A = this chain, B = another copy of it.
Amino acid sequence: MKKQEMTRELCQRSGRCIQRCMGIDSLNGLSVVTKEIDEATGSNYYERFTKYLKWFQENDLIGNAAQTDVKGDRSLRPHQQADLDLYLRVVERREDGIVVRGAKAHNSIAAYADELLVFPTRAMTSEEGDWAVAFAIPADAEGVYLISVPHIHKTRKELKAPITEYGTMHAFTVFDNVFVPWDRVFMNGEHKFAGRLASLFALYHRHSYTGCKPALTDVLMGTAAVVADYSGLGKVSHVRDKLADMIAVAELVYAAGIASAVKGKKASSGTMIPNTIYANVGRYHAGVKIYHEYETLADLAGGLAATLPLEGDFLNPVTGKLLEKYMKRKADVPSEYVHRAYRLVENLIASSTGAAAGISGVHGGGSPIMEKIAIMANYDLESKKRLARTLAGIPEKVGK
């Protein structure tokens, strides 16, 4: 099983981001932690969870991960906020289940997911049991408000292209006293495991990113290469240099994903856990490079990326003919191809959707600073210090 899992993980990486990873990553995280809680406390979350999972798979559902709390004043912990609901929490424990209140931000695909998988965004202290809660809820449950933000490309009249066919939607999800029955509750006050679940989901999700981010780079790099070709610049030294840099980003991130899978370990529940360090350095590298990738495409595409005439002017018989003539670049490339290629450039880096994707490239799955925190928390820095002390001839202190 180890092996298959690993293989699956590896294969899965080759595809495009397919908006399903969040659900799977959440379920993976829950499969590990519910077991661990049971082992520590004698509860039976794991059984509850596997029942839920079976139902979920049988119905081939799509799940959204609702982790990120709105967080109010970032310098204060959950229980220190002026309004205690700024992190989602249990406000009532009833015989048949719990009632929760709070809001989860930036929930991708929530608007068209079947199920919301809700869990903590950070580690919790002993005062914060009410915030240590995980559960699943149908997206249309009572008290759930999905305030949606669509990211869709400008509709085109005639110049249809696959890129405009797909869009995405994020939700600001409010839980206004929502009831959750027991069979859907997977953590309820076990504050010690809040951080474990938060970071495990993050780990699975960052590992997913080592697959989907290279795919985004592929699109940016391919587009950059195409417009450079059309401009007659395909062989120019600085152009090739910049494309090589994009390749290096894509493949380092992807390699980190491979290493993370190869060096993964099995949890007590049997689920494979990818290696933390590699998944985090991979996601980190993708996050700190995304704006530079946008910059490279902007650089190679030139000013037209920002000032492409409107589709209507191409359709207008007078201006259309003039644009046809003056949009021409390499003699053997039809002007329409140039137009289409720049429309794609516009979609990718000069539209609101493209701009939001850049921001998502920074923060989705956790901002770069969070990966650094995860790295520092898990890295064996002590052994590296020991190495240095040995080379320097400094004795290890006894008992240290």
Residue ranges of A at the interface with B (Cβ–Cβ < 8 Å): 68, 70, 72-76, 82-83, 85-86, 102-103, 105-106, 145, 147-149, 151, 159-163, 170, 172, 174, 176, 218-219, 221-223, 225-226, 229, 231-233, 236-238, 240-241, 243-245, 247-248, 251-252, 254-256, 258-260, 262-263, 277-278, 281-282, 284-285, 290-292, 294-295, 298-299, 301-310, 313, 318-319, 322-323, 325-331, 337, 340-341, 343-344, 349-352, 354-360, 362-364, 367-369, 372, 375-376, 379, 381, 384-394
Contact = CB atoms under 8 A, between A and B. Distances in A.
A104 to B, nearest CB: 9
B262 A299 contact: no
A189 B379 CA distance: 47
B248 A258 contact: no
Contacts of A254: 259
Given A222-B381, A225-B385, A295-B362, 9 more contacts: A75-B232, A75-B233, A145-B319, A172-B307, A219-B391, A223-B388, A247-B277, A247-B281, A255-B260
- Grouping DSSP codes into helix (H, G, I), strand (E, B) and loop, the A interface class, with mixed when no group exceeds half, is helix
A222 B259 contact: no
Contacts of A86: 326, 328
A362 B294 CA distance: 11
B238 A241 contact: yes
Given A149-B308, A251-B256, A344 B384 contact: no
Nearest to A292: B291
A5 to B, nearest CB: 15
Q: Which 4 A-B pairs have the closest CB atoms?
A: A161-B393, A222-B388, A222-B384, A255-B259
Contacts of A341: 388-389, 392, 394
